[in-house]
């Protein structure tokens, strides 16, 4: 099913998304809302989701009281990173600075010149890049 002018995206039943675990929902949900400009669609103490504004994708956060921060880069023999988010930006330096001001941390290891690896407030690696 695809969006057409006649299809209300909220009536669709083919939503998909990425869900991040965190010890608390609100800080991570607020971080990504401010970082990307996506409004919070729903939120409570157990989970929340951001409205990406188009299509049927979402970014969600769920509370996990046993959450353990990922380690980047992964030490030899350690649990490998399972996934990360990529965001294209126009001005890499300005967006890195803005992300840090919102609570991100610049990772010590940077494997590419046109990409910056950052850690969100819960420690999930994410990348800002220019094309």
11-56 residue pLDDT tens: 888 989 999 999 999 999 999 999 999 999 999 999 999 999 888 8
> Alpha carbon 52 to chain centroid distance?
11
Residue 68 falls inside a structural domain? no
Residue 76 falls inside a structural domain? no
**Mean pLDDT rounded to a whole number for the chain:** 92
Residue 16 falls inside a structural domain? yes
Read off the pLDDT of each residue in 106-130 and give the average, rounded to a whole number.
96
Domain extent, residue 31, equals: 9-63
Q: How far apart are CA 26 and CA 29, in angstroms?
A: 5
* pLDDT of 79: 77
Indicate the SS3 state at residue 9.
helix
The number of distinct structural domains making up the chain is 2
Least confident stretch, 13-27, 72-86, 92-106 = 72-86
Q: How far apart are CA 68 and CA 10, in angstroms?
A: 34
Q: How many CA atoms lie less than 13 Å away from 119 in the CB half-sphere?
A: 16
Residue 77 falls inside a structural domain? no
CATH of the domain at 42: 3.10.180.10
If residue 49 lies in a helix (H) or strand (E), which one and from where to where? Answer: strand 47-51
């Amino acid at each position: 099913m695809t969006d057409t002018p006649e299809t209300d995206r909220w009536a669709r039943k083919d939503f998909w998304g990425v869900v991040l675990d965190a010890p608390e929902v609100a800080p991570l949900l607020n971080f990504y809302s401010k970082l990307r400009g996506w409004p919070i669609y729903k939120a409570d103490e157990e989970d929340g989701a951001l409205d990406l504004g188009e299509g049927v994708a979402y970014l969600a956060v769920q509370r996990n009281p046993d959450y353990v921060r990922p380690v980047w880069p992964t030490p030899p023999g350690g649990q490998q990173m399972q996934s990360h988010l990529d965001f294209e930006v126009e001005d890499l330096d300005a967006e890195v600075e803005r992300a840090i001001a919102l609570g991100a941390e610049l990772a010590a290891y940077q494997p590419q010149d046109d990409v910056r690896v950052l850690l969100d407030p819960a420690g999930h690696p994410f990348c800002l890049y220019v094309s």
